[in-house]
Amino acid sequence: MSGKVRTSGPKGRIPALVAVLALLLLALAATAAAADGPVVKLSKSQAGTGGSITVSGSGWRANALLMMLICGQATPARGVVGGTNSCANSDGRAVTTDAKGSFGKKLPVSEPPVPCPCVVHVATVTGAKSQADAVLQVAGHAVEPLPAETAGGRLSVLTDTRLDGSGGLLTWFGAPPSRTLDFTVGNVGTSAVKNPVFQVGTSHGVFAPQWEEQEWRGTIEPGRKARIELPVDLAAGAHGDYTVSLKYSGKVLAEQPWGVGRPWGVTLFWVLVCVVVPAALFRIGMAVVDRVRPRRAGGLRHRGLRLPELSLHRPKFTISRTPAEAPTAASTLPWFTPDSDPGTAGRLSAPHDDSQPSPSAPTGPTTPTRKGST
């Protein structure tokens, strides 16, 4: 009986080890890419005004809306020092990532309002904040060194920002919405920070935020933290999706979305105005027309379809009587009319004399009669 016996030697184990190592390297590369966050790449590192470049990115959130801007006074290490005020906002472009978090779109090259060094700044518009920068040299644009970093105390946001408060009845009728921006900062520098001045900005949609400086009264020692509350107000009647941004020393520290409801009370007010005012004008007009309309014969005015007022009057009968006559009690009964009064029926049928004999006429045997005296 003969047979073959398989033996496993070093030559059979090498391909399996190579496959396992390749899988490990791919997993490590994916982990490193995820740890690095979103990435932005440019088709050209230098371009002049009037041209265009292709901006591509990967590692972003799926189906995220992004904004691409060319900004001055910025580097990938320090970010955009002056915020979006240092960017060419009018020539920015919006782009949406695909299901894998990638995108690619052309961006026109324009000069930012501040000198270079310049970058292409890409940041999310809604949702969780993510941003990335890529170096771009704008040909012919001035170049100046970045402002030196301030030594000493530095503040960093330690907790997520939140908006406290709610709207009331006045806000429902168009009053300015207001909230309180609540967050905690820590001093990661080497010296104390006294009365820090923050910049709070509010933006609607893709528009640049409107910044307002607010001073917090207090001192934050090195290595300490403090809870800070800053008021945030919008214009009267504001509604829609807003974004509240917090900036300190020219660097944006946090952003918080704010959904403002529509002031339906204002809409209800205008609906009532559109209904009540025309009805009142119609009533006034009808009253004027009724007053200036000429009278008809008999002194009555004609008023549309209104039926003439009918009044039932009880017929009155007047019987001329002599002063000596007095009404009898039977004629005053309510169930008899002058025509059916039994006390007066004979009188109305034929005239006769009801006069009483005069008391002054003498009655006696001396009065002559028709037969003669006796």
The residue written with tokens 């004027």 in the block is 288
CA distance 20 to 32: 18
Mean pLDDT of the chain: 77
pLDDT at 110 over 70: yes
pLDDT at 351 over 60: no
pLDDT at 322 over 70: no
User: Which phi and psi (to 5°) does residue 298 adopt?
Assistant: 95, 0
Give 237-257 pLDDT, tens digit per residue. 888 889 999 988 878 888 888
Residue 31: per-residue pLDDT: 44
Residue 229: per-residue pLDDT: 92
pLDDT band for position 157 (cuts 50, 70, 90): confident
Residue 313's contacts (CB-CB under 8 Å, 6 or more residues apart) are: none
Supply 220's token pair: 């934050």
Cα 145 to chain centroid distance, Å, stands at 45
Give 10-69 pLDDT, tens digit per residue. 455 555 555 556 555 555 544 444 446 799 999 999 999 989 999 999 999 999 999 999
CA distance 143 to 117: 6
pLDDT band for position 179 (cuts 50, 70, 90): very high
CA distance 96 to 65: 5
Give 68-97 pLDDT, tens digit per residue. 999 998 998 888 887 788 899 989 999 999
Residue 261: per-residue pLDDT: 85
pLDDT band for position 323 (cuts 50, 70, 90): low
- Its pTM stands at 0.44
CA distance 331 to 325: 13
pLDDT at 361 over 60: no
pLDDT at 342 over 60: no
pLDDT band for position 6 (cuts 50, 70, 90): very low
Over residues 159-182, the mean pLDDT reads 86
pLDDT at 205 over 80: no
Q: Which residues pair with 227 in a beta bridge?
A: 184
**DSSP secondary structure code for residue 20 in this structure:** H
Percent of the chain with pLDDT over 90: 25
Residue 340: per-residue pLDDT: 54
Give 266-301 pLDDT, tens digit per residue. 888 888 888 888 889 989 999 888 888 887 665 555
pLDDT at 370 over 70: no
Closest among 262, 263, 267, 198 to 226, alpha carbons compared:
198
pLDDT at 162 over 70: yes
